[in-house]
Structure 1
Amino acid sequence: MRCKLLVVFLVASLPVLGDDVVRDSVRVEEVVVTGHSISRFQAGSKIEKVKQAQFLAMQDGSLEQLLLRYTPVAVKGMAGSLSTIRLRGTSPDHTSINFGGININSLTLGHSNVSNVPMYLFDEIGLQYGSASVVNGSGSIGGAIHLGMNNYWVDGLKAELRVANGSFGEQLYGTKLFYGNGKWEGVTRAFYYAKANDFPFYNTTYDYDKKGDFGEDVQQNASIDNKGVIQEFNYRFNERSALTFKAWFEHDWHEIQQNMQTNALQPNVRETLMDEHVRLWSEYTSKQQRVSWLVGAGYVYDNSVHNQSTDNIATQRVLGKAEADYKLGINNGIKTGVSLKSIYPDVYAYDTDLSHENWTDLYLSYFHSFFNKLTLTINIRQAFVTNYSVPLTPALGFSFNAVSGDSYVWSFTGNVSRSYRVPTFNDRYWIPGGNPDLKPEKGMNYELGTKLSYASEQLVGHLKLNAFYLDVDNWLLWVNNGGWEAQNVQRVQSKGLEISTDWNWILGQYGLNSGMNYTYNPVVRKAANNSNSENMAIGRQLEYVPLHRGVLYVNGSYKNIMAGLDASYTDEQYISQGDKMLPELVLLNAQLAYRCQINRDNVLRIAGSFNNLTNKDYQSSYGYPMPRANYRVSITYNFK
């Protein structure tokens, strides 16, 4: 009966959009972002995969839009210009974003612009909540996001063409080509995205007629022009070993959105930012009966150009990784590995004596399962950085299936882990203000969770509850003491409660999926260690972290038609260490899709997304307007 329960769970986790989507999801067993190798040694960690139906609904958008609509993660955005995340109340620098064996976060800034991460290029998204430094290294105090790509091992040619158009000049053109003979395959994924971003808004910072009334305005100089391609070449030696290669080339350009006051008084002010990225990763994997091997190597080039300047802000990385996973027995195993990184900065504001920096990470993991009910995991990671001291990061976790029956499982999880972040190159070496003597940020994470899963022939779902506590010392800020400089000035505590549900009803040809994600997240400064500490709002909620955030969604399907509705709530947020706040916000969105099966090998899908249905004027970053009601319509053609 438990086997039957597992099968029902797997089937219910598939999207309700049609057979073409289901086939592509079922055939692939190697899940990159939430696969066995990631979760097996991290008992007690909260690792979730974005539902496939939700991921497919956001294929025309960015990582920012997906997180806002379907997760409780807080996002601070500027209408496509710059968006950063605050996972469990931490800073944008505290969440790693991973592609293959690469953390794509900038080595100069420390974070990624999530509005520049296109969902069209990927197959799935995984979120790891809470400390992940023991697995992902520096910069994962708040958690990690994994950009997943599957191997399909196609025999022949399979292709997809996609066109999307929307409000305010939005357009996306994309293609995916899969070609091979079942033993080798090539995959090409390419997209072009542009948006004029000339949306109307109500300007709350400028008095047009000098009578105390505010007026209508139109956003100026905020256009976007992004393009990218991921090329894969994969070779399968046999069912247990394969060689994969991925190359991600990205060119992102946008006009930096000006605030409301500048938009009204100086509409001709124009700033541009261009980011270029080359990310290469290749790895060989061998999965034998008791021993599995992985050897990987990579190269990353990042360059940022502000206003077509000739001043370089570029870095290069050479990466290497090797690990072995050995099954000691049926119920226990061990994994050990090493990762290497050499960084070569080329930044005009750094000391010219800084030629490169070497990183070496050693890690060891162990898991043991008792009676198919209790699993314990132990992880240890130690990093070595040139001329820098990095703390040891251990982690201990457990998962326990307390009660189970024919149709339900009630489980408990827990995790204690240490985390760290090495300050960025800008923090340490930018002239003026950088400080090479900065200490690494250090965090302690404690987490407890419980999950009740239920499955019957018509209803499948779960209720999950997680409580967490995170204490981060040496929190780094740039402070103004007669001039801006980087300092370890704060101790921050983040705690909270997360509740999530997801339920699937299957009634013949009708399907219904509904759920919620909610987080209660008090985040406060407990101490500050600089001369301006009295102005740092000790004991008060941190800026741009809402105390409450939640999303609700419901999706229904009948035959080849799917419709969905989602709503998000973001509590009021402090914008600075003063008293000014952004008001609370509720956004309502809808989507509709129709799948037309032309024949066995040709499928046409038409979809529409309708956002901010209540036509709200709102801000995600103070002083920067966001679009009112808008739409996007896409046509996707899949063929062999």
Structure 2
Amino acid sequence: MKKELLIIVFFVCVAFANGQIIDTVNVEEVVVTGTSISRFQAGSKIEKVPEQQFELMQGGNLDQLILRFTPFAIKSTAGSLATIRVRGTSPDHTSINFGGININSMTLGSSNLSNVPLYLFDEIGLQYGSASVVNGSGSIGGAIHLGMNNYWVNGFKAEARIDFGSFDEELYGTKLFYGNGKLEGVTRVYYYKKKNNFPFFNTTHDFEKNGAFGEDVQRNASVENKGVIQEFNYKLNTNETFTLKAWIESDWHEIQQNMQTNAFQPNMRKTLSDDHVRLWTEYKNEKKKLHYKLGGGYVYDNSVHNHSTNKISTQRLIFNGDGEYKITNSSSFKGGVNFKSIFPKVYAYNTDLKREDWTDIHLSYYQNFFNKLTVSVNLRQAFVTDFDVPFTPAVGFSYNALAKEKYVLSFTGNVSKSYRVPTFNDRYWVPGGNPNLKPEDGINYELGSKFSYCIDGLSGTIKVNAFYLDVDNWLLWINGSNGWEADNVQRVVSKGIEAQSNWDIHVQKYTINTGLNYSYNPVERAEVVGSSSGQNKAIGRQLEYVPLHRGVFYLSGIYKDLSAGFDFNYTHKQYTSQEQNTIPAYTLVNLQSSYKYKVNDDHVFRFAASLNNILNKDYQSSEGYPMPRINGRLSVTYKFK
């Protein structure tokens, strides 16, 4: 508890300091959710994570940000594996995008959010609801965009960061920015490790004690990740740019064992290593009435389980091209094509598959009427080698009903089709893969409203969205007569209401930010088809690992160079199997504070501390796997020119 005590002392000390938390940086271009993306998706819910929340979580990974500040559900073990469930969907129903690359595994279909360090990125964009019409296969639930800004540095600036946390957690990172205003390079490097030897109460039954095993310590759950992103950006002129990005990553962890194994097989140790190479280059031209961009990429993913020599890897070659023609000041037409070739090399596949080609053609149109009503139409058709993919159209609108000096009230609506092509493992893994699987086929309906209010000293928004998602051919691995096998066995219906608010209050030198994110999400099997009669017992009941209620509340205050705040998040109980097994609801409360010390304009230090799970709760996010009790982190960031 020494580190926790140091963090508490830090909170007390900075309470008497003066300060302001975040450096202001003028950014010319926002890559994540630029106007062209949102303009052609009228009625879709697309948001950027607020800068203060993003800055606060720079020492963590994507799963921690999602858990603490969004209504999305996260299923995780203690630092080694975390998967997302957006609006009741599966992890492989949300695409994670870097440039023009969906980083989800082509064999598994999903990403481990514990392996996505926030320190490497400048912003995070969140898209709620079906996004297949823009992002392609695997975006039935939504999409996450990992954003990197162009700063067009003239000269040199840099930063270095060090974090130390509980259970031997360490993070080291640096960012280097160098250029002449037209040509810039950005180097981002990080190294992260954690022993993860936290105490917990082990509920596994011990027959010798005739009760719970009792106090225990997590063993063999270490994590070690490292990576670098190298960028080169060249501005040919104001409206013509060229970008090259390379993300090289190596992730390793000991696979956390469940409570029973940890208690009675303490020497059990298994490991998983993942190596990734992701290259993306893009040319953008906006000089004339026709704006267009061309992009290409290469991806190499390799996974090694427990030092095995069995190969599980894929390579991808990607090409994207699209153009937008501005018909008038209030209407545009956009079209494009995406192509990728995938080369799998997996020891357990029952085929000599060498290559699979995917081609997507998409067309979009948007029209604004009298600066009050915006309508968009999107059409997408994918073609996959020896596979039939459904046509996916989408229609949406955004309407400014009231626009006054102090407030604006708007309404949105969207209807969109979506799909997911089964992964290579789903189709070809031996045993259990099924090459005759159908693509998952969904339709999403959404209505939303947004109220924005601004007066002197007070500004904020309130949003309410209702959605209904119906997915046919939902794919599951089920325990059938021949063992585990993949099959299209379900029709799943997910519906719900999301409520969000965010407010900034300014009183003299004080700034207060507060907000609420809440999701009510009933999601059920509506129908079971095929021979999977065992699925019938779960019809009409909440789907596994999707909480009916998820809520987040946060409050922070800034005075000069000092910032302090807390966040509170609640996750309702969750079913963990098609039986009646559940994990109980849990509530987590976290504290954080920071202080900026400015030596001069060229040298700035930022000291930060966080204390997590201050209620010291034992809880589970994945059945049978413990999570840490109270834990903390200290960080120092140094920025200089």
Shorter-normalised TM range:
over 0.9
The answer for the alignment partner of 1:57 in structure 2 is 56
1:572 and 1:582 in contact (8 A); partners too: yes
Cα deviation 1:7-26 (Å, max 9, x = unaligned): xxxxxxxxx9848622x1xx
The answer for the alignment partner of 1:510 in structure 2 is 510
Once the 2 structures are TM-superposed, how far is the Cα of residue 474 of structure 1 from its aligned partner?
A: 0.1
Cα deviation 1:171-214 (Å, max 9, x = unaligned): 00000000000010000000000000000000001327514244
Alpha-carbon distance between aligned partners in 1 of 2:115 and 2:263, rounded to the nearest angstrom = 27
The answer for the alignment partner of 1:602 in structure 2 is 603
Alpha-carbon distance between aligned partners in 2 of 1:561 and 1:126, rounded to the nearest angstrom = 27
Task: Report matched runs for 1:284-363 at 5 Å.
Answer: 284-363=283-362
In structure 2, the CA distance between the partners of 1:441 and 1:255, relative to structure 1 (3 Å rule), is same
Once the 2 structures are TM-superposed, how far is the Cα of residue 532 of structure 1 from its aligned partner?
A: 3.4
Letter in 2 for 1:583: P
Letter in 2 for 1:58: M
Cα deviation 1:132-188 (Å, max 9, x = unaligned): 000000000000000000000001111000000000000000000000000100000
Letter in 2 for 1:540: R
The answer for the alignment partner of 2:500 in structure 1 is 500
The answer for the alignment partner of 1:629 in structure 2 is 630
Once the 2 structures are TM-superposed, how far is the Cα of residue 299 of structure 1 from its aligned partner?
A: 0.1
2:22 and 2:55 in contact (8 A); partners too: no
The answer for the alignment partner of 1:570 in structure 2 is 571
Task: Report matched runs for 1:64-75 at 5 Å.
Answer: 64-75=63-74
Alpha-carbon distance between aligned partners in 2 of 1:632 and 1:399, rounded to the nearest angstrom = 43
SS of the aligned residue for 1:43 comes to coil
SS of the aligned residue for 1:21 comes to coil
2:20 and 2:559 in contact (8 A); partners too: no
Letter in 2 for 1:428: R
SS of the aligned residue for 1:354 comes to coil
- Do structure 1's residue 420 and structure 2's residue 422 form an aligned pair? no
The answer for the alignment partner of 1:378 in structure 2 is 377
SS of the aligned residue for 1:631 comes to strand
- Do structure 1's residue 471 and structure 2's residue 470 form an aligned pair? yes
Letter in 2 for 1:196: K
Letter in 1 for 2:511: G
Letter in 2 for 1:485: E
In structure 2, the CA distance between the partners of 1:186 and 1:208, relative to structure 1 (3 Å rule), is farther
The answer for the alignment partner of 1:176 in structure 2 is 175
Once the 2 structures are TM-superposed, how far is the Cα of residue 265 of structure 1 from its aligned partner?
A: 0.2
Cα deviation 1:588-626 (Å, max 9, x = unaligned): 001000001110111100001110000000000000000
Q: Give runs of ≥4 in structure 1 deviating > 3 Å.
A: 16-20
Cα deviation 1:419-465 (Å, max 9, x = unaligned): 00000000011122111110000000000000000011210101000
2:394 and 2:415 in contact (8 A); partners too: yes
Question: RMSD between aligned alpha carbons?
Answer: 1.1
Letter in 2 for 1:516: L
The answer for the alignment partner of 2:544 in structure 1 is 543
Letter in 1 for 2:131: A
SS of the aligned residue for 2:580 comes to coil
The answer for the alignment partner of 2:109 in structure 1 is 110
The answer for the alignment partner of 1:614 in structure 2 is 615
Alpha-carbon distance between aligned partners in 2 of 1:334 and 1:532, rounded to the nearest angstrom = 46
The answer for the alignment partner of 2:223 in structure 1 is 224
SS of the aligned residue for 2:547 comes to coil
Once the 2 structures are TM-superposed, how far is the Cα of residue 352 of structure 1 from its aligned partner?
A: 4.6
2:336 and 2:362 in contact (8 A); partners too: yes
Task: Report matched runs for 1:173-322 at 5 Å.
Answer: 173-207=172-206, 210-322=209-321
In structure 2, the CA distance between the partners of 1:592 and 1:286, relative to structure 1 (3 Å rule), is same
Once the 2 structures are TM-superposed, how far is the Cα of residue 95 of structure 1 from its aligned partner?
A: 0.2
Gaps of 5+ in 1: 1-15
1:139 and 1:420 in contact (8 A); partners too: yes
1:208 and 1:215 in contact (8 A); partners too: no
Normalised to the residue count of structure 2, the TM-score between the two structures is 0.96
The answer for the alignment partner of 1:133 in structure 2 is 132
Once the 2 structures are TM-superposed, how far is the Cα of residue 534 of structure 1 from its aligned partner?
A: 4.4
Percent identical residues: 65
Alpha-carbon distance between aligned partners in 1 of 2:73 and 2:105, rounded to the nearest angstrom = 20
The answer for the alignment partner of 2:436 in structure 1 is 437
The answer for the alignment partner of 1:150 in structure 2 is 149
The answer for the alignment partner of 2:458 in structure 1 is 459
Letter in 2 for 1:158: K
SS of the aligned residue for 2:427 comes to helix
Alpha-carbon distance between aligned partners in 2 of 1:534 and 1:495, rounded to the nearest angstrom = 24
SS of the aligned residue for 2:167 comes to helix
The answer for the alignment partner of 2:11 in structure 1 is none
Alpha-carbon distance between aligned partners in 2 of 1:417 and 1:18, rounded to the nearest angstrom = 43
SS of the aligned residue for 1:447 comes to strand
Cα deviation 1:37-74 (Å, max 9, x = unaligned): 21010000000110010001000000000000000000
Once the 2 structures are TM-superposed, how far is the Cα of residue 513 of structure 1 from its aligned partner?
A: 0.3
405-414 vs 575-584, greater mean Cα deviation? 575-584
SS of the aligned residue for 2:54 comes to helix
2:21 and 2:562 in contact (8 A); partners too: no
Once the 2 structures are TM-superposed, how far is the Cα of residue 31 of structure 1 from its aligned partner?
A: 1.0
SS of the aligned residue for 1:328 comes to strand
SS of the aligned residue for 2:328 comes to coil
1:294 and 1:324 in contact (8 A); partners too: yes
The answer for the alignment partner of 1:490 in structure 2 is 490
Once the 2 structures are TM-superposed, how far is the Cα of residue 32 of structure 1 from its aligned partner?
A: 1.2
418-427 vs 525-534, greater mean Cα deviation? 525-534
Once the 2 structures are TM-superposed, how far is the Cα of residue 580 of structure 1 from its aligned partner?
A: 1.6
- Do structure 1's residue 393 and structure 2's residue 395 form an aligned pair? no
439-448 vs 503-512, greater mean Cα deviation? 503-512
Cα deviation 1:556-585 (Å, max 9, x = unaligned): 000000001000000011011111211111
Task: Report matched runs for 1:35-114 at 5 Å.
Answer: 35-114=34-113
Letter in 2 for 1:89: G
In structure 2, the CA distance between the partners of 1:560 and 1:210, relative to structure 1 (3 Å rule), is same
Once the 2 structures are TM-superposed, how far is the Cα of residue 350 of structure 1 from its aligned partner?
A: 1.3
The answer for the alignment partner of 1:9 in structure 2 is none
1:17 and 1:53 in contact (8 A); partners too: no
1:206 and 1:264 in contact (8 A); partners too: no
SS of the aligned residue for 1:518 comes to strand
Letter in 1 for 2:52: A
SS of the aligned residue for 1:609 comes to strand
> Between Structure 1 and Structure 2, how many residues are aligned?
622
Once the 2 structures are TM-superposed, how far is the Cα of residue 262 of structure 1 from its aligned partner?
A: 0.2
The answer for the alignment partner of 1:5 in structure 2 is none
The answer for the alignment partner of 2:23 in structure 1 is 21
SS of the aligned residue for 1:244 comes to strand
Once the 2 structures are TM-superposed, how far is the Cα of residue 218 of structure 1 from its aligned partner?
A: 0.2
Normalised to the residue count of structure 1, the TM-score between the two structures is 0.96
SS of the aligned residue for 1:505 comes to strand
The answer for the alignment partner of 1:529 in structure 2 is 529
Alpha-carbon distance between aligned partners in 2 of 1:166 and 1:529, rounded to the nearest angstrom = 49
Once the 2 structures are TM-superposed, how far is the Cα of residue 288 of structure 1 from its aligned partner?
A: 2.4
